[in-house]
């Protein structure tokens, strides 16, 4: 009998070890709204779980009493002790710094400026955000400025579409940073252990002899495609009635079929379509089964209305169900952006995608079409979805985005990337950031909230500053000033990691006359001048079309089709805008 009593504690311990409890509950915000994608760390197992779309969770544990730590971007982390027999109602508070996170965010920061206004442009039923062009800033009073980096290139191909249609371009469709970076010029491999390489060049300004140009060049490391982890792609394809045009759904079908040819056996593809209804068109399929994927794409037809909101939610749900931990998880939305069922405004889409991005799934937007093209909506989705945005106007562009620049488009090396630059006011009197212009609704907000961007593998991102030197003679008598002209502090996060890293470099006053700088930088400058010209910027009045053509023809690479095509585009634009100017003169 004594031996039996001695075994009882051991039996109780064994029973407790094998006992299973089901820890359940719901996570909400301060307004009792459910929070999806909350990271839930179960301390007893040291395992990570996530809350579902309704904020609920259910976790098996062998502990009656346990503890959790909950984290979600934009909310205060919380640790709680729990009783597995009880339903858990857990509330997370919004971080004070994140109260305005759903307001329009800035992509560049300047201070104390009166921004010029401009009449709103309309082109058929297309929509573009109204942009406020950056102006000159006093470097003594405000030596610091910041801007977001991203790999969006949609604006150039969209501008090309207008020019090829023999039409002027809506000024707000011209995003200067996307124009310049369309060509991925002047790429230089980062040093062995660095993720980024930053170079700068100071030169004369070809459209204003009294100014200088400072060119920043940020290069991201190239990923080895053979070493890239498995990818989980969900194609979210708009098959609604508005897509029933040759330059819409048929073009996208051809584009995706090109992309599929580069899939690896370790990659997974799913297809969600929306046109009248939302449905899973293709269940998760291995990249080795290319024929099956291509056949399912070919069978797509356009019909019905456009339930964009429910389609986006369905795509993210599918992406989360096939989520590859440590892999690449991305939804690729292909549409003209004309959502007419469910969330449709930019604000509604902003709020929707901000919730969905918490899952760690990235978003790429591919825009197509004309007439009812919704550029503003796709730009909103891409920025809020931790992703990028391209406009496909023909099959060559599809091949560029989905094949030739595959890793740049779909494989990010860092996100939430932004630069802060501090100018040396001993050398710089005033400066102006070209491009990275803010939406008017963001500028009108009294709070400043800088939004970082995503940078893809092997990207070269150029940024231009117009400089008013502190002295007219400062750079005319010497080619190199010992003092630095600026210091750049780049901050970024590794993908799926909220920890910010820093990369700091000085910009030497390494002045060279424009004709002596690298040919690729000369060509990029010609593209910048072209963008300013079609944008009808007040800062390019001293340059004419011949200046652009001369610089481009002397610096382009004839072996690169897109650079040769640019020269033709300048000729076409000159004819369009010169004709418009003559008509205006007659009217006057």
More confident residue, 495 or 434: 434
Predicted confidence at residue 433, as pLDDT, reads 94
Predicted confidence at residue 535, as pLDDT, reads 93
Predicted confidence at residue 45, as pLDDT, reads 81
More confident residue, 60 or 405: 405
Q: How confident is the model at residue 445 (pLDDT cuts 50, 70, 90)?
A: very low
Render pLDDT for 370-383 as a digit per residue (tens, 0 to 9).
766 777 778 877 77
Query: Model-level pTM?
Result: 0.76
Report which DSSP code applies to 182.
G
Render pLDDT for 276-327 as a digit per residue (tens, 0 to 9).
788 999 999 999 999 999 999 999 998 888 777 788 889 999 999 999 988 9
Task: State the DSSP H helix or E strand holding residue 28, giving kind and residue range, or none if neither.
Answer: strand 21-28
Predicted confidence at residue 531, as pLDDT, reads 96
Predicted confidence at residue 152, as pLDDT, reads 84
Share of the chain above pLDDT 70, in %: 82
Residue 586: pLDDT over 70: no
More confident residue, 14 or 80: 80
Predicted confidence at residue 526, as pLDDT, reads 98
How far is Cα 549 from Cα 539, in angstroms, rounded to an integer?
18
Residue count of the chain, please give it.
588
List helix spans (H) across 146-230: 154-164, 176-180
Q: What is the mean pLDDT of residues 101-124?
A: 49
Q: What is the mean pLDDT of residues 511-530?
A: 96
How far is Cα 512 from Cα 417, in angstroms, rounded to an integer?
29
C-alpha pair distances (Å), 534 with each of 156, 443, 530: 11, 23, 6
Predicted confidence at residue 11, as pLDDT, reads 45
Render pLDDT for 170-218 as a digit per residue (tens, 0 to 9).
998 999 999 999 999 999 999 988 999 999 999 999 999 999 999 999 9
- Report which of 68, 70, 14 is spatially closest to residue 44, judged by C-alpha positions: 68
How far is Cα 84 from Cα 18, in angstroms, rounded to an integer?
15
Predicted confidence at residue 440, as pLDDT, reads 58
């Amino acid at each position: 009998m004594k031996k039996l009593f001695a075994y009882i504690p051991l039996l109780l311990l064994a029973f407790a070890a094998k006992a299973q409890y089901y820890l359940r509950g719901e996570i909400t915000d301060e307004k009792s709204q459910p929070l999806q994608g909350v990271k839930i760390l179960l301390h007893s197992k040291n395992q990570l779980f996530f809350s579902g779309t309704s904020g609920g969770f259910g976790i098996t544990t062998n502990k009656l009493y346990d503890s959790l730590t909950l984290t979600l971007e934009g909310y205060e982390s919380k640790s709680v002790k729990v009783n597995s027999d009880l339903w858990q109602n857990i509330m997370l508070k919004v971080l004070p710094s994140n109260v305005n996170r759903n307001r329009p965010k800035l992509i560049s920061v300047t201070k104390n400026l009166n921004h010029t206004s401009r009449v709103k442009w309309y082109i058929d039923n297309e929509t573009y955000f109204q942009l406020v062009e950056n102006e000159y800033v006093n470097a003594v009073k405000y030596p610091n400025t910041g801007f977001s980096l991203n790999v969006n290139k949609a604006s150039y191909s969209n501008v090309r579409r207008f020019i090829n249609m023999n039409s002027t371009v809506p000024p707000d469709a011209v995003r200067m940073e996307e124009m310049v970076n369309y060509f991925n010029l002047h790429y230089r491999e980062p040093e062995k252990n660095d993720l980024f390489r930053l170079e700068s060049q100071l030169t004369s300004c070809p459209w204003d002899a009294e100014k200088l140009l400072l060119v920043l060049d940020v290069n991201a490391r190239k990923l080895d495609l053979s070493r890239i982890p498995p990818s989980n792609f969900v194609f979210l394809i708009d098959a609604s009635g508005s897509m029933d045009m040759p330059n819409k759904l048929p073009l996208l079908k051809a584009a995706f079929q090109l992309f599929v040819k580069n899939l690896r056996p370790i990659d997974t593809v799913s297809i969600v379509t929306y046109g009248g209804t939302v449905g899973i068109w293709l269940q998760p399929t291995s990249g080795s089964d290319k024929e099956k994927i291509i056949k399912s794409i070919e069978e797509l037809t356009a019909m019905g209305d456009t339930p964009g909101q429910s389609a986006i939610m369905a795509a993210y749900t599918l992406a989360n169900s096939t989520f590859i931990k440590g892999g690449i998880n991305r939804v690729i939305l292909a549409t003209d952006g004309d959502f007419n069922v469910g969330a449709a405004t930019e604000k509604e889409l902003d709020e929707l995608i901000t919730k969905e991005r918490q899952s760690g799934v990235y978003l790429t937007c591919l825009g197509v079409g004309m007439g009812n093209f919704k550029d503003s909506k796709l730009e909103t989705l891409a920025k809020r979805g931790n992703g990028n945005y391209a406009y496909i106007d023909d099959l060559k562009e599809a091949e560029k985005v989905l094949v030739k620049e595959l890793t740049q488009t779909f494989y990010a090396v860092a996100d939430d990337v932004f630069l802060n630059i501090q100018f040396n006011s001993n050398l710089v009197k005033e400066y102006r950031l070209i491009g990275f212009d803010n939406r008017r609704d963001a500028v009108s907000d009294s709070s400043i909230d800088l939004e970082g961007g995503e940078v893809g593998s092997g990207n070269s991102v150029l940024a231009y500053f117009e400089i008013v030197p502190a002295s007219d003679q400062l750079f005319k008598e010497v080619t190199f000033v010992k003092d630095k002209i600026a210091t750049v502090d780049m901050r970024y996060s590794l993908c799926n990691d909220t920890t910010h890293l820093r990369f700091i470099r000085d910009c030497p006053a390494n002045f060279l006359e424009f004709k002596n700088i690298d040919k690729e930088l000369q060509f990029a400058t010609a593209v910048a001048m072209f963008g300013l010209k079609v944008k009808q910027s007040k800062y390019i009045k001293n340059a004419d079309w011949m200046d652009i053509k001369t610089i481009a023809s002397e610096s382009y690479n004839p072996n690169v089709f897109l650079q040769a095509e640019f020269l033709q585009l300048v000729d076409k634009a000159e004819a369009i805008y010169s004709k418009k100017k003559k008509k205006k003169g007659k009217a006057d």
